[in-house]
Amino acid sequence: MKLFKRLALTLVIAATATALFAEGSNINFKVGAQFPDAPNKAGLDTAISVNYGADKYFTIGAEGGFGWVKYKDEGDSTKIDDVEFTSVDKTNIYSFPLLAVATIRLADMMDQQGFMPFVTGGVGWSWAKFDNPDMPSAFDDTFTGFTWQVVGGVNIRLGSDSNMTLILEGGWRSAELENSDDIMLDMSGFICHAGVSFPIGYSDY
């Protein structure tokens, strides 16, 4: 596992460094929602990706993200002077996926129709922090694990004189994470984003 984590991190850093100095590269900023299996709650999901254009139909790059799922469970109720009080158990889950990504895009449609469909796949590693004050002190609240995702979407040109494009995408992320006690936190689920893409070097897409 340690070897895989080091390899994944090395690939992501190499892909990012390559993209920053290559023509046809772009950087994407995305924000949206995640719907993980374990808490069965919706949460925030954000991502930044840097991509190198091997050609106009294919890119490789790296994507890092931050997710936040916040929820509360109500416990027992108590009445004091005819006023009812309910105990609340609050939980926050913070997640940090880091992936190497590859994208296939129908670039010819950008000139013809003003939008460009794409499919992106990614593999890497995720870290998650499980924050609940009622957990015992011996509980390991840090979870890690192999992560993959597949998303499809579309880039939409905002204007004929603009290199910025709008991103709309949705897909599935698999992230079955474990702590040192072999307890699983399944953060797998549907993800969706909206965002913007900017060229780093010269690019028509």
Structure tokens at 149: 């995702």
**Fold for domain 2-199?**
Porin (2.40.160)
Structure tokens that stand for 9 in this block? 């991190």
The closest of 203, 201, 189, 120 to 154, measured between CA atoms, is 120
Res 3: pLDDT: 52
Closest residue by Cα to residue 170 from 186, 188, 149: 149
Question: How confident is the model at residue 19, as a pLDDT?
Answer: 47
Residue 159, Cβ density class (10 Å: 0-12 exposed, 13-18 middle, ≥19 buried): exposed
Q: Cβ distance 151 to 190 under 8 Å?
A: no
Q: What is the pLDDT of residue 22?
A: 55
Residue 77: predicted pLDDT = 57
Q: What is the model's pTM?
A: 0.81
- Look up residue 158 and give its two tokens: 């905002």
- Tens-digit pLDDT string for the chain (205 aa): 555 555 555 555 655 555 454 555 899 999 999 999 988 889 999 999 999 988 889 999 999 999 999 987 665 556 555 666 555 678 899 999 999 999 999 988 988 888 999 999 999 999 999 988 777 777 889 999 999 999 999 999 988 778 899 999 999 999 999 999 999 999 999 999 999 999 886 555 5
Residues paired with residue 81 on neighbouring β-strands, in sequence order: none
- What is the torsional sign of CA 176, 68, 173, 73? positive
Contact by Cβ (8 Å): 106, 91 = no
Task: Kindly list the domain boundaries of the chain, sorted by start residue.
Answer: 2-199
Q: What is the pLDDT of residue 132?
A: 83
Task: Specify the pLDDT at position 163.
Answer: 83
What is the maximum alpha-carbon separation in the chain? 72
Left (φ > 0), alpha (ψ -120 to 50) or beta: where does 114 sit? left
C-alpha–C-alpha distance, residues 27 and 163, integer Å: 12
- Residue 195, pLDDT score: 98
